[in-house]
């Protein structure tokens, strides 16, 4: 029984049962210990950005952490971008980062670097074991820390000797979980009074509350009581579809958000700071609430139970037991050109009940959201941190956590090229994931942003940096080369048929939606 065994036993005893891994030499003891612990499911990913994106998807769906296995600073570094996304979704994750043996670090061997400094940026907790007997206690502490509230990555650095040396303790401690604090009754009463005297109140529902059924349901009650709920533009997870209340999203572009919020005189915040524009633009405001004349109040901090507070607020306002619920309605069949909108219709016509949608579709996303509002109940997982390249990795983890639920991964072609090796893990694990690539051969959003930032029209150099043409990427080849069956569609009809087939058959599939 060595430190690696103690680590994995403690993780399993704390219900951490999936490990997304890209190991190296310093993690060999952990890998070997997995052979002695069949209750931990190891999933090999061929790049650490896939590892961490999968852990994010898993945590969002399972509501508990998976562990990652990463190889020193560079391995962690490769996972930084998707851990940034996970940080913005408050996803519980336990990172196990292998390091040089404690006594070897002083010699600054080639793979040595300051792992703590790297990991601190996107972690809620970072500690290194210094002896094998510390490992079990630290593992339990990491699991507890990952739940927050509000939750995030806990990064446990595991020097190789702490893994290979024998342990003398047999204790496998339980993680301490801190619940969310209740919001004081006076706060709720006071905000209810403000709402009653407001002309146009909105309630902005942040990531934590927006991810729960209770939060969305309470938001619906508030809508029925005359308070307009607005969800995050990019909500880590939201249950939507028929029979559920569907809040509007905060608009992405600042000027649209400002227009949408015109006349609002009260903004109530739930588990969020005041909403800000995704980017700043010359001459446009950073904060989205109207300047002057709009009071901003906080109903619940991130560590507080915003869903329960919204429900209590709805009671205080005399709201009905339920808000307006979405009716079951699927789009009509479309023919002709394949566009994000007609592809969205195909998706909306066939998305099955219980599906999990992993959305990294960038400019193609909104038309698909519009076309799936009335689908049977499903979950939607968005790109929370703006670091593209999450769509396929997140689907890996969502499928492992979803155990039988159909997963649909929506991706811009530019985004999907960040982590194309995630396709291999779909094939290896035979995951029930349909990957759609919206191939417009462009960083289309940047062509829009180039104008909006006042940078003008693209000349030859700028065009070269915004276009993915020359050569065009053949997604069918990239998928088949990694064992994923694939098809290309360039009409609404053929896309509809391909998507319907993919929904009817289990296993990984890729559809290249070749846009004009």
Footprint of a second copy on residues 152-171 (CB under 8 A)? Answer: 160-161, 164
Rounded-to-integer distance, Cα 355 and Cα 148, Å: 27
Among 196, 243, 477, 504, binds a second copy (CB under 8 A): 477
Residues 293-352 that bind a second copy (CB under 8 A): none
Is the peptide bond preceding residue 471 cis, with omega within 30 degrees of 0? yes
Nearer to a second copy, 264 or 345 (CB): 264
Rounded-to-integer distance, Cα 147 and Cα 174, Å: 13
> Considering the rule CB under 8 A, would residue 431 count as an interface residue with a second copy?
no
Please report how close the Cβ of residue 107 comes to a second copy at its closest, in angstroms: 4
Nearer to a second copy, 280 or 333 (CB): 280
Nearer to a second copy, 118 or 433 (CB): 118
Is the peptide bond preceding residue 430 cis, with omega within 30 degrees of 0? no
Residues 479-508 that bind a second copy (CB under 8 A): 480-483
Could you tell me which residues come within 8 angstroms of residue 54 by beta carbon, excluding any fewer than 6 positions away? Answer: 20, 43, 45, 66, 393, 394, 396, 397, 400, 422, 425
Among 171, 184, 464, 506, binds a second copy (CB under 8 A): 464
> Considering the rule CB under 8 A, would residue 23 count as an interface residue with a second copy?
yes
Instruction: Check: CB of residue 139 under 8 Å from CB of residue 8.
Output: no
Please report how close the Cβ of residue 392 comes to a second copy at its closest, in angstroms: 13
Please report how close the Cβ of residue 241 comes to a second copy at its closest, in angstroms: 25
Rounded-to-integer distance, Cα 205 and Cα 271, Å: 7
Please report how close the Cβ of residue 287 comes to a second copy at its closest, in angstroms: 7
> Considering the rule CB under 8 A, would residue 376 count as an interface residue with a second copy?
no
Q: Which residues pair with 189 in a beta bridge?
A: none
Among 15, 120, 166, 353, binds a second copy (CB under 8 A): 120
Establish how many alpha carbons lie within 13 A of residue 422's alpha carbon, considering only the half-sphere containing its beta carbon. 37
Residues 210-239 that bind a second copy (CB under 8 A): 234
Residues 264-303 that bind a second copy (CB under 8 A): 273-274, 276-280, 282, 286-287
Q: CA-CA-CA-CA torsion for 83, 84, 85, 87, nearest 10 degrees?
A: 80
Output the CA–CA distances (angstroms, integers) from residue 11 to 20, 195, 279, 378, in the order listed.
14, 46, 39, 30
Total residues at interface with a second copy (CB under 8 A): 104
Nearer to a second copy, 100 or 378 (CB): 100
Q: Which residues pair with 297 in a beta bridge?
A: 268
Nearest to 4 by CA among 144, 101, 136: 136
Q: How far is CA 123 from the centre of its chain?
A: 15
Stretch that binds a second copy, among 149-157, 309-317, 432-440, 462-470 (CB under 8 A): 462-470
Nearest to 7 by CA among 69, 92, 77, 54: 69
Stretch that binds a second copy, among 29-37, 130-138, 222-230, 298-306 (CB under 8 A): 29-37
Q: How far is CA 309 from the centre of its chain?
A: 24
Rounded-to-integer distance, Cα 494 and Cα 508, Å: 19
Please report how close the Cβ of residue 24 comes to a second copy at its closest, in angstroms: 7
Among 330, 468, 490, 497, binds a second copy (CB under 8 A): 468
Place of tokens 């940026």: 121
> Considering the rule CB under 8 A, would residue 428 count as an interface residue with a second copy?
yes
Nearest to 215 by CA among 131, 135, 150, 158: 150
Please report how close the Cβ of residue 481 comes to a second copy at its closest, in angstroms: 3
Nearer to a second copy, 42 or 374 (CB): 42
Nearer to a second copy, 109 or 329 (CB): 109
> Using CB under 8 A as the criterion, what x/- string covers residues 405-424 for binding a second copy?
---------x--xx-xx--x
Rounded-to-integer distance, Cα 360 and Cα 433, Å: 14
Nearer to a second copy, 73 or 331 (CB): 73
Rounded-to-integer distance, Cα 349 and Cα 104, Å: 59
Instruction: Check: CB of residue 255 under 8 Å from CB of residue 288.
Output: no
Rounded-to-integer distance, Cα 392 and Cα 190, Å: 45
> Considering the rule CB under 8 A, would residue 186 count as an interface residue with a second copy?
no
> Considering the rule CB under 8 A, would residue 366 count as an interface residue with a second copy?
no
Rounded-to-integer distance, Cα 40 and Cα 67, Å: 10
Stretch that binds a second copy, among 182-190, 191-199, 323-331, 444-452 (CB under 8 A): 444-452
Among 12, 111, 214, 497, binds a second copy (CB under 8 A): 111
Nearer to a second copy, 255 or 493 (CB): 255
Among 1, 12, 44, 214, binds a second copy (CB under 8 A): 44
Please report how close the Cβ of residue 317 comes to a second copy at its closest, in angstroms: 29
> Using CB under 8 A as the criterion, what x/- string covers residues 68-97 for binding a second copy?
-----xxx-xx-xx--xx-xx---------
> Considering the rule CB under 8 A, would residue 256 count as an interface residue with a second copy?
no
Output the CA–CA distances (angstroms, integers) from residue 193 to 186, 198, 220, 282, 316, in the order listed.
11, 9, 19, 38, 9
Phi then psi for residue 161, to 5 deg, are: -70, -30
């Amino acid at each position: 029984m060595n430190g690696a065994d103690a680590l994995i036993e403690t993780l399993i005893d704390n219900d951490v049962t999936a490990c997304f891994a890209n190991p190296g030499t310093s993690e060999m003891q952990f890998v070997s210990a997995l052979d002695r612990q069949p209750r931990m499911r190891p999933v090999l990913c061929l790049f650490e950005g896939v590892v961490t994106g999968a852990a994010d998807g898993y945590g969002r769906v399972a509501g508990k952490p998976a562990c990652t296995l990463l190889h020193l600073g560079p391995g962690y570094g490769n996972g930084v971008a998707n851990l940034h996304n996970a940080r913005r979704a408050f996803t519980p994750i336990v990172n196990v980062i292998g390091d040089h043996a404690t006594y070897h670090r002083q010699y600054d061997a080639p793979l040595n670097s300051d792992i703590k400094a790297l990991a601190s940026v996107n972690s809620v907790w970072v500690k290194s074991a210094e002896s094998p007997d510390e490992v079990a206690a630290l593992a339990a502490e990491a699991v507890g820390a990952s739940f927050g509230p509000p939750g995030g990555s806990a990064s446990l650095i595991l020097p190789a000797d702490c893994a290979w040396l024998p342990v003398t303790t047999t204790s496998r401690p339980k993680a301490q979980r801190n619940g969310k604090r209740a919001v004081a009754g006076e706060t709720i009463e006071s905000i209810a009074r403000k709402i009653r005297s407001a002309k146009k109140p909105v309630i902005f529902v942040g990531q934590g509350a927006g991810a729960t059924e209770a939060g969305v349901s309470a938001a619906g009650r508030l809508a029925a009581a005359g308070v307009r709920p607005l969800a995050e533009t990019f909500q880590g997870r939201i249950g939507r579809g028929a029979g559920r209340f569907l809040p509007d999203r905060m608009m992405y572009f600042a000027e649209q958000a400002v227009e949408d919020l015109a006349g609002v005189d009260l903004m109530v915040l739930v588990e969020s700071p005041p909403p800000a524009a995704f980017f700043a633009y010359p001459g446009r405001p950073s904060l989205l609430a109207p300047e002057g004349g709009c009071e901003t109040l906080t109903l619940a901090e991130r560590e507080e139970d915003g869903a329960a507070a919204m429900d209590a607020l709805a009671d205080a306002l005399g709201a009905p037991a339920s808000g307006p619920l979405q009716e079951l309605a699927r789009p009509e069949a479309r023919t002709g050109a394949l566009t994000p909108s007609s592809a969205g219709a195909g998706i909306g016509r066939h998305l099955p009940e219980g599906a999990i949608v992993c959305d990294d579709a960038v400019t193609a996303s909104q038309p698909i959201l519009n076309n799936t509002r009335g689908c049977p109940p499903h979950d939607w997982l968005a790109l929370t941190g703006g670091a593209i390249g999450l769509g396929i990795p997140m689907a890996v983890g969502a499928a492992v956590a979803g155990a039988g639920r159909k997963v649909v991964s929506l991706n811009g072609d530019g985004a999907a090229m960040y982590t194309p090796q995630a396709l291999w893990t779909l094939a290896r694990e035979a995951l029930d994931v349909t990957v759609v690539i919206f191939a417009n051969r462009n960083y289309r959003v940047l062509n829009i942003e180039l104008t909006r930032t006042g940078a003008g029209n693209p000349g030859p150099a700028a065009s070269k940096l915004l276009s993915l043409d020359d050569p065009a990427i053949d997604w069918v080849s990239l998928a088949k080369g990694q064992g994923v069956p694939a098809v290309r569609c360039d009409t609404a009809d053929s896309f509809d048929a391909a998507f319907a087939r993919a929904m009817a058959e289990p296993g990984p599939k890729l559809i290249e939606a070749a846009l004009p």
